[in-house]
Copies of this chain bind each other. A is one copy, B any other.
């Protein structure tokens, strides 16, 4: 994908003043050698902002990080994969706080300056016996060039690591934004089992950073869907340490707009990469809705189509089934007039005015057989528009998600659960 931003290497350690490291703590499996715990830290004081799952069942680290971001001066992010520390009650909260305290001590900062994130299975206690002894190695090994190892350590069922870093120029000052993310399962609008960490050496006040992050999430992570589920652990956390120098970037200015655009781009690239690497996903589908009565109506239509199991099954089978698309449009609760609905698939008209268009099924099929295509739905009523990024639903997705039982059995043997 082309970009107006210069892409650079380094991920979350591309911006000035950040160090990171990742280690193997055996969180999920004591015998596995894979990286599963990571730390990102700003070498200088910074401001931080975060956006978290709207699920009413929130994981312990989400609750702890929300408090730290509100009350503290967060400058480090501790993360593990393999265990979500969700539905773990008071002891889960204690584990999350203890981790922040111990790592903070080694970093020479307060407990409230360390945000904590976890991703993995719900309902099992954190294996603190394996995690705690690794904190020393984690902090001692912090380097300015370990961004990619963080991206790797947060993977769960992801098949590849995801990171990006860009440089931009604002008022003559060169600055950078870096990010890494993980996704794979439970991807849905309004945050999912996904983590995204963003760093920048731009100078931004805390209030402004909150607004920049919130706006960027709205046009990126809230626009993707894989399976319609929403996780207990979703977190986007951003650090801004001002190490690039220059004046503070302010909202409502030309510079602020430029910064927002760059941040949107970074988060959109991360969000799209999550869809592409969704569990057993074979297609990346952009659903564009326009001509709706309102923005909200366009959103309802886009979400109904992008989350319909039957529509997603047809995409998996290379089936240009506009009948299923229009039936999802119909039940979306948006105002629609059947006889005005146009549907284009990969630029070809499949349905015009609610009726089958005069088009070759073979041509339509070729579009849906591609690994990326766009569905455009024009309601022809008004100006409301919305875009969402979706995927197909494959038999392999269901098969992949049929059972975690074997893992739980192992956890019993590990002594992590009650019997």
| Chain B residues within 8 Å of A318, by CB | 403, 405
Whole-angstrom distance between the alpha carbons of A86 and B341 in the complex? 14
**Complex Cα–Cα for A121 and B87 (A):** 44
Could you mark each residue 373-395 of chain A with 1 if its beta carbon is under 8 Å from any beta carbon of chain B, else 0? Answer: 00000000000000000000111
Q: Select which of B228, B317, B338, B418 is within 8 A of A57 by beta carbon.
A: B338
Inter-chain contacts of A256 with B (CB < 8 A): none
**How distant is the Cα of A418 from the Cα of B397 in the complex, in angstroms?**
36
> Which residues of the partner chain B approach A361 to less than 8 Å between Cβ atoms?
405, 408-409, 412, 419
A376 to chain B, nearest CB (A): 17
Q: B227 and A310: CB pair below 8 A?
A: yes
Q: How far is the CB of A406 from chain B (nearest CB, A)?
A: 9
* Pair B316/A402 contact, Cβ less than 8 Å: yes
Residues of B within 8 A of A232 (CB): 327, 330
Give bound CA distance, A123 to B361, whole Å: 13
> Can you tell how many copies of this chain the complex includes?
2
- Complex CA gap A330/B401 in Å reads 20
Contact, CB under 8 Å: A317 / B403 = yes
Residue in B231, B308, B398, B417 whose CB lies within 8 Å of A316: B398
Q: Name A398's contact: one of B313, B335, B339, B412 (CB within 8 Å).
A: B313
Q: Is the CB of B122 within 8 A of A327?
A: yes
Q: Is A205 an interface residue (CB 8 A)?
A: no
Cα of A192 to Cα of B22 in the assembled complex, Å: 50
Residues in B with CB closer than 8 Å to A58 are 330, 338
Q: Among the interface residues A310, A339, A399, which one has the most CB atoms of the partner chain B within 10 A?
A: A310
Whole-angstrom CA separation of A418 from B418 in the bound complex: 64
Contact present for B356 and A123 (CB under 8 Å): yes
Residue A140 CB within 8 A of the other chain? no
Q: Is A216 on the interface with B (CB-CB < 8 A)?
A: no
Question: A355: which B residues are within 8 A, CB to CB?
Answer: 87-89
As a 0/1 sequence over residues 184 to 210 of chain A, the CB contacts with chain B under 8 angstroms (1 = contact) are 011000000000000000000000000
Residues of B close to A87: CB separation below 8 A:
323, 326, 338, 351, 354-356
A257 to chain B, nearest CB (A): 33
Contacts of A401 in B (CB 8 A): 309-310, 313-314, 317
Assembled-state Cα–Cα distance A89/B124 (Å): 55
Interchain nearest-CB distance for A371 vs B (Å) = 16
Name the residue of chain B whose CB is nearest to the CB of A309: B227
Residue contact B310 to A403, C-beta cutoff 8 Å: no
Seen from chain A, the residues whose Cβ lies within 8 Å of a Cβ on chain B are 54-58, 86-89, 121-124, 185-186, 227-232, 307-310, 313-314, 316-324, 326-332, 334-336, 338-339, 341, 351, 353-356, 358-361, 365, 393-399, 401-405, 408-409, 412, 417-419
Known: A56-B338, A395-B395. 10 other contacts (CB 8 A): A87-B338, A87-B355, A89-B354, A229-B331, A231-B327, A314-B402, A314-B404, A320-B405, A361-B409, A361-B412
14 A-B pairs in the complex with CB atoms less than 8 angstroms apart: A86-B327, A87-B355, A89-B339, A123-B326, A124-B356, A227-B309, A313-B402, A317-B401, A319-B402, A320-B405, A356-B417, A358-B419, A359-B419, A395-B402
In the A-B complex, the 9 residue pairs with the smallest Cβ-Cβ separation, listed nearest first, are: A317-B402, A57-B330, A122-B323, A317-B403, A313-B401, A395-B395, A55-B330, A230-B331, A123-B323
